[in-house]
Amino acid sequence: MSEIGTVWSKLWDSFLELLYPTRCCFCHRLSGKGKPVCKFCREKYPDVPHEQQEQKLRDGTKCYSPLYYAGDVRRSLLRYKFENLSGYGAIYGEFLLKCLDENEISCDSITWVPLSRARLRRRGYDQARLLAEVIAKAKGIACEAYLKKIRNNPAQSGSGGYEARRANAAGAYRSRQEEKLAGKSILLVDDIVTTGATAMECARTLRKAGAKSVTVLTVARRKD
C-alpha cells in the first residue's frame, strides 16, 4: 500500500474505533483497540483450575472445559449465541486450544453438537461449529459434520433438571458419514455443558456409529 493509502487506512481504523470501540468479550467494558479481552479478564480467565478442567459425565465420558458458566462468562456466551457476535468464536477458541494442550487431549477427528435446521436458519450460524472449526484449523485436523439434529426440541438454555434434559435429548441426533468416523477418536465440541445430557446423547450416537472413543470439549461448564 502507498504511504497515503496507509495513512488513510490508519485514520479509517481510528474512526471505526471511535464509532465502535472494542469491548472486552467477557466483562464488556472498553478494552482498547485490537484487544478482544481486557487485561483484567486476561488475568482472571481461564477460571476453572487445571485439575478441575476434566470432569466425567454420568456415563463416564470425559469432558473438558476451561471456564465456568457464571457471571461475565455466562453473559458473554449469551451474546455469542443470541446477539450475532460470532466473532467471539475465535476468542473462545484460544481458551479451548490452551485447555486441549494443557490436558494433553488428542483426537483423530473433530465434530460438534449441531443445531437443528430451523434454529440454524433463525440464528444464521452454528455457534458450536464455529468453535470446532477454529480448533480444527489450528490443529490441522479435519472438522466433520458427524451428527445431525433430527428433532427440534425446546432450547436447553432455560431450567430443567437432568432427567428432563435427558428425556429431551434422547433420540434427538442421528449420525452421518459413519464410514468416515468408524474407528476414530473423536473430539466433540460444544459451547456449554450443564447436566451433560446433550453431550452424552451425542457421544452415544457417535459410539453407536462406530467411533472408537469420544471426548467432549466445551467453553464453559456449570459451577457446582
Q: Please provide residue 167's backbone torsions phi and psi, each rounded to the nearest 5 degrees.
A: -65, -35
DSSP symbol at 170? T
In whole angstroms, the minimum distance from the beta carbon of 37 to Zn ion comes to 6
Closest CA to 63 of 210, 222, 211, 184: 222
CB of 26 to Zn ion, least distance (A): 5
Give the nearer residue to Zn ion in terms of CB position, either 38 or 197. 38
Taking the complex as a whole, how short is the minimal distance between the CB of residue 22 and Zn ion, in angstroms? 11
Helix (H) or strand (E) holding 187: strand 185-193
The CB-of-87 to Zn ion minimum distance in angstroms stands at 15
Would you say 80 and 86 are in contact if contact means Cβ atoms under 8 Å apart? Answer: yes
Residue with Cβ nearer Zn ion (91 or 181): 91
Amino acid code (one letter) for 56 = K
Residues 6-45 that bind Zn ion (CB under 5 A): 24, 26-27, 38, 41
**Do β-strands 109-112 and 67-68 pair in parallel, antiparallel, or remain unpaired?**
unpaired
- How far apart, in whole angstroms, are the C-alpha atoms of residue 185 and residue 167? 27
Toward Zn ion, which CB reaches closer, 38 or 107?
A: 38
Q: Binding mask 69-108 vs Zn ion (x if CB under 5 A, - otherwise)?
A: ----------------------------------------
Amino acid at 121: R
Q: Whose Cβ is closer to Zn ion: residue 87's or residue 183's?
A: 87
Q: Which is nearer to Zn ion, 38 or 136 (CB)?
A: 38
Question: How many residues does the structure list for the chain?
Answer: 224
Q: Given the rule CB under 5 A, which residues bind Zn ion?
A: 24, 26-27, 38, 41
